[in-house]
């Protein structure tokens, strides 16, 4: 259906908004909000109704902030005002009401070109036909207007006949996602959503409906000989299951870069969308592509062994081609992940330096690589404490690739560190929206709740995650928030049940200390249990125990050892007890942190 109001037209099914025939950019949530208000024009739609309609019950978002943002973006697109609304009226403490006149029409009739538009369409078709013939393009026309319109697509993991080639199927599918995501006219389901179906034999139409897209790309990789494959790809319409396009490709290690580029071009062409393509022919034909795809496959799996092996593949990629920018970007991500998770003891500083060097090399070769900006920003943020440079690089990465969840996640971590908690929460929620099954995003979201002193919410979030998968729980944040909230017995129970992050052997002595000496004894005992190699954690516990001098002595030790976590002290609620001490702001000044709340 088509809704017309005040010179605007909204195609409800596609979410496309136009004004006097020209397209108006409007993101998905504001478009769905507009459709909901239009359907109930003249009536008040409550905030609870909008929550149920726009955000499912299992979606972790700050609803009030998200709805306010959607309303603001909608009003901006419509040129509307909250003070003198022409279209969207705020009904205080209740919800919103569409106050304009609405004319509903059948979208098929409304889509018929007007005479002026028809002349322009004919002219553009002739120009495109002449250009296609001159270039020797095998296609004779762009997708017909009679075929279903595709404004959103999901690329499912490509199936393989040889499990040893999983990396190749996943790598090509991921490359296609990245290639299509550069189009401003197409919504592409993020990797974390579409790859949930990896290895599953499911109906593509059913999957497409579940993901809320209008088309699905599938692919199957068949082994012909050692190192030689045939890739068959297919584009399927979700509405009626129609086969919109199919093509076969020959795959060999030498052709991977060119195939990646050709595949994105072919599918994008069939979808009728424009793509930004920042690769020249030399980069597309790099011999290092096989190693790069293997590295990306392992890096996405995460875990110590996988990430270390990914780094080895990226290292081999840049050895094969010293000017392969993506290889250096992958290497920077791998080194940064090793450093951030302390996968190699006592190597954090070295790995951060290597991550920054790899990112610098990648950007010297190609200044458009968002992943390289993210890695350099993380190194500046965590180790070099150059927070201004980190901020600039994070923003540049997001500008280049808004759909890169890692950029939003690591930027949120930076914002949390410097005390900008509301902004941090928005970035982490964006990362979660892009990758809803990301352990890192969920863990950081609970960390943001702790930094905001919303301990019960952080606890509740982790306990809900435990019901889905215990591996999702951030046990360190759960333990700390339970203790900060005065729930010491719960914290001790968490310690007993989380052997991977907390030593269960510490639980009994900690419980005995609490029973005999209360909270102060609890925190003093916890400080004694932590190793001296963790001066930051020891300082936090002494702060909670009220022992200021010991707290600052260990913070100074962490600073001189350049322990990256010391930069978190300014926003950590465990240091609230010593915040008024002059030594607190002096340490923040030496680190370079902004004077939060001063």
Give residue 349's pLDDT.
79
Structure token digits, residue 89: 């009226």
| CATH value at residue 49 | 1.10.10.10
Contact partners, residue 37, CB within 8 Å, separation at least 6: 45, 88, 96, 97, 98
> What distance in Å separates the CA atoms of residue 1 and residue 10, rounded to the nearest whole number?
8
> What distance in Å separates the CA atoms of residue 383 and residue 389, rounded to the nearest whole number?
12
Structure token digits, residue 363: 């950007």
Q: Band of the pLDDT at 199, cuts 50, 70, 90?
A: low
3 state DSSP class of 1: coil
| Residue 95 sits in the same domain as residue 122 | no
Q: Is residue 592 part of a domain?
A: no
Structure token digits, residue 138: 């095998």
Does the pLDDT of residue 329 top 50, yes or no?
yes
| CATH value at residue 245 | 3.40.50.10070
| Residue 34 sits in the same domain as residue 88 | yes
Q: Give residue 118's domain range.
A: 114-141
> What distance in Å separates the CA atoms of residue 270 and residue 267, rounded to the nearest whole number?
5
Q: Band of the pLDDT at 67, cuts 50, 70, 90?
A: confident
| Residue 189 sits in the same domain as residue 262 | yes
Taken in order 355, 356, 359, 364, the sign of the CA dihedral is negative
Q: Is residue 518 part of a domain?
A: no
| Residue 134 sits in the same domain as residue 165 | no
> What distance in Å separates the CA atoms of residue 95 and residue 110, rounded to the nearest whole number?
31
> What distance in Å separates the CA atoms of residue 259 and residue 366, rounded to the nearest whole number?
20
Structure token digits, residue 131: 């250009």
| Residue 44 sits in the same domain as residue 93 | yes
> What distance in Å separates the CA atoms of residue 372 and residue 39, rounded to the nearest whole number?
45
Q: How many residues does the chain have?
A: 598
Average pLDDT over the chain reads: 79
Give residue 526's pLDDT.
95
Dump pLDDT digits (tens) for 436-451.
Answer: 656 667 777 888 889 8
> What distance in Å separates the CA atoms of residue 209 and residue 202, rounded to the nearest whole number?
12
To the nearest 10 degrees (0 to 180), the angle between helices 166-180 and 289-301 is: 90
Greater model confidence, 565 or 508: 508
Does the pLDDT of residue 595 top 90, yes or no?
no
Does the pLDDT of residue 538 top 90, yes or no?
yes
Q: Band of the pLDDT at 146, cuts 50, 70, 90?
A: very low
Instruction: Work out how many domains the chain is built from and give that number.
Output: 3
Contact partners, residue 8, CB within 8 Å, separation at least 6: 17, 18, 19, 24, 78
Q: Is residue 82 part of a domain?
A: yes
Q: Band of the pLDDT at 99, cuts 50, 70, 90?
A: confident
| Residue 90 sits in the same domain as residue 120 | no
Q: What is the pTM of this model?
A: 0.57
> What distance in Å separates the CA atoms of residue 355 and residue 418, rounded to the nearest whole number?
22
Give residue 247's pLDDT.
83
455: left (phi over 0), alpha (psi -120 to 50) or beta: alpha
Poorest-confidence range of 55-64, 313-322, 323-332, 443-452?
55-64
Give residue 306's pLDDT.
86
| Mean pLDDT of all residues in 69-96 | 83
| Residue 67 sits in the same domain as residue 12 | yes
Q: Are 527 and 545 in contact (CB under 8 A)?
A: yes
pLDDT-above-90 percentage for the chain:
21
Report the DSSP beta bridge partners of residue 105: 2
Dump pLDDT digits (tens) for 40-54.
Answer: 888 888 888 887 777
Q: Is residue 569 part of a domain?
A: no
Q: Is residue 373 part of a domain?
A: no
Does the pLDDT of residue 345 top 70, yes or no?
yes
Give residue 483's pLDDT.
96
Dump pLDDT digits (tens) for 385-435.
Answer: 888 999 999 999 998 888 788 899 889 989 888 888 889 888 988 887 777
Give residue 440's pLDDT.
65
| Residue 7 sits in the same domain as residue 88 | yes
The DSSP element (H or E) to which 315 belongs, if any, is: helix 304-320
Phi–psi pair at 41, nearest 5 degrees: -50, 135
Among 236, 269, 302, the domain boundary falls at: 269
Dump pLDDT digits (tens) for 113-140.
Answer: 333 333 333 333 333 332 333 333 333 3
Q: Which residue is listed with tokens 């919504």?
A: 187
Dump pLDDT digits (tens) for 235-267.
Answer: 888 888 888 888 888 777 656 666 766 777 778
Q: Are 559 and 591 in contact (CB under 8 A)?
A: yes
Among 254, 269, 284, the domain boundary falls at: 269
Q: What is the CA radius of gyration of the chain?
A: 27
> What distance in Å separates the CA atoms of residue 370 and residue 107, rounded to the nearest whole number?
39
Q: Is residue 369 part of a domain?
A: no
User: Regarding beta strands 152-155 and 187-188, do their DSSP bridges make them parallel or antiparallel, or are they unpaired?
Assistant: parallel
Among 214, 242, 269, the domain boundary falls at: 269
> What distance in Å separates the CA atoms of residue 330 and residue 310, rounded to the nearest whole number?
8
Q: Band of the pLDDT at 280, cuts 50, 70, 90?
A: very low
| Residue 166 sits in the same domain as residue 94 | no
Q: Is residue 278 part of a domain?
A: no
| Residue 101 sits in the same domain as residue 176 | no
| Residue 20 sits in the same domain as residue 59 | yes
Structure token digits, residue 441: 């995003």
Q: Is residue 174 part of a domain?
A: yes
3 state DSSP class of 43: coil
Task: Please calculate the CA angle 151-156-157 and round it to the nearest 5 degrees.
Answer: 150
Chain Cα centroid distance, residue 567: 24
| Residue 79 sits in the same domain as residue 126 | no
Distances (CA, A) of 492 to 237, 501, 507, 525, 545: 53, 13, 6, 12, 17
3 state DSSP class of 76: helix
Does the pLDDT of residue 142 top 70, yes or no?
no
């Amino acid at each position: 259906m088509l809704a017309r109001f005040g010179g605007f037209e909204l195609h409800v099914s596609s979410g496309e908004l136009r004004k006097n025939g020209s397209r108006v950019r409007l993101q998905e949530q504001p478009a769905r909000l507009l459709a909901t208000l239009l359907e109930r024009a003249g009536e008040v739609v409550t905030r609870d109704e909008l929550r149920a309609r726009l955000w499912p019950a299992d979606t972790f978002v700050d609803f009030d902030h998200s709805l306010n943002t959607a309303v603001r973006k909608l009003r901006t697109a419509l040129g509307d005002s909250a003070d003198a609304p022409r279209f969207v009226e705020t009904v205080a403490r209740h919800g919103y009401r569409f106050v304009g006149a609405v004319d509903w029409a059948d979208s098929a009739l409304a889509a018929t070109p007007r005479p002026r538009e028809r002349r322009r369409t004919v002219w553009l078709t002739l120009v495109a036909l002449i250009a296609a013939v001159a270039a020797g393009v095998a296609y004779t026309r762009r997708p017909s207007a009679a075929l279903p319109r595709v404004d959103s697509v999901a690329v499912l993991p490509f199936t393989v006949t040889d499990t040893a080639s999983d990396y190749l199927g996943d790598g090509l599918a991921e490359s296609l996602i990245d290639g299509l995501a550069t189009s401003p006219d197409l919504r592409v389901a993020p990797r974390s959503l579409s790859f949930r179906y990896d290895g599953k034999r499911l109906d593509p139409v059913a999957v497409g409906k579940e993901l809320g897209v209008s088309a699905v790309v599938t692919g199957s990789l068949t082994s012909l000989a050692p190192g030689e494959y045939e890739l068959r790809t297919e584009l399927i319409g979700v509405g009626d299951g129609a086969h919109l396009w199919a093509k076969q490709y020959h795959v060999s290690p030498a052709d991977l870069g060119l195939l990646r580029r050709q595949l994105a071009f072919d599918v994008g062409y069939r979808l009728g969308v424009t793509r930004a393509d920042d690769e020249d022919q030399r980069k597309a034909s790099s011999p290092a592509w096989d190693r790069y795809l293997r590295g990306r496959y392992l890096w996405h799996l995460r875990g110590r062994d996988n990430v270390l092996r990914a780094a080895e593949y990226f290292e081999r990629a840049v050895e094969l081609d010293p000017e392969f920018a993506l290889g250096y970007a992958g290497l920077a991500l791998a080194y940064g992940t090793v450093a951030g998770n302390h996968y190699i003891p006592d190597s954090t500083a070295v790995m951060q330096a290597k991550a920054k060097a790899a990112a610098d090399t990648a950007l010297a070769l190609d200044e458009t690589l968002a992943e390289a900006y993210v890695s350099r920003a993380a190194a500046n943020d965590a180790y070099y404490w150059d927070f201004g440079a980190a901020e600039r690089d994070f923003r540049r990465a997001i500008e280049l690739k808004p759909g890169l969840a890692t950029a939003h996640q690591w930027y949120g971590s930076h914002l949390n560190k410097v005390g900008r908690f509301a902004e941090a929460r928005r970035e982490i929620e964006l990362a979660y929206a892009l990758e809803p099954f990301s352990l890192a995003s969920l863990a950081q979201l609970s960390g943001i709740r702790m930094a905001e002193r919303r301990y019960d919410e952080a606890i509740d979030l982790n306990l809900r995650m435990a019901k889905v998968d215990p591996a999702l729980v951030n046990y360190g944040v759960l333990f700390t928030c339970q203790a900060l909230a005065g729930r010491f017995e719960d914290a001790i129970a968490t310690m007993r049940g989380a052997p991977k992050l907390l030593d269960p052997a510490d639980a009994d002595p900690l419980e005995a200390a609490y029973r005999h000496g209360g909270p102060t004894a609890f925190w003093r005992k916890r400080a004694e249990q932590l190793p001296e190699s963790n001066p930051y954690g020891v300082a936090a516990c002494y702060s909670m125990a009220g022992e200021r001098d010991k707290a600052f002595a260990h913070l100074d030790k962490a600073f001189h050892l350049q322990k990256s976590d010391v930069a978190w002290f300014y926003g950590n609620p465990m240091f609230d007890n010593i915040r008024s001490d002059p030594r607190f702001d002096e340490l923040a000044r030496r680190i370079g942190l902004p004077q939060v709340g001063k």
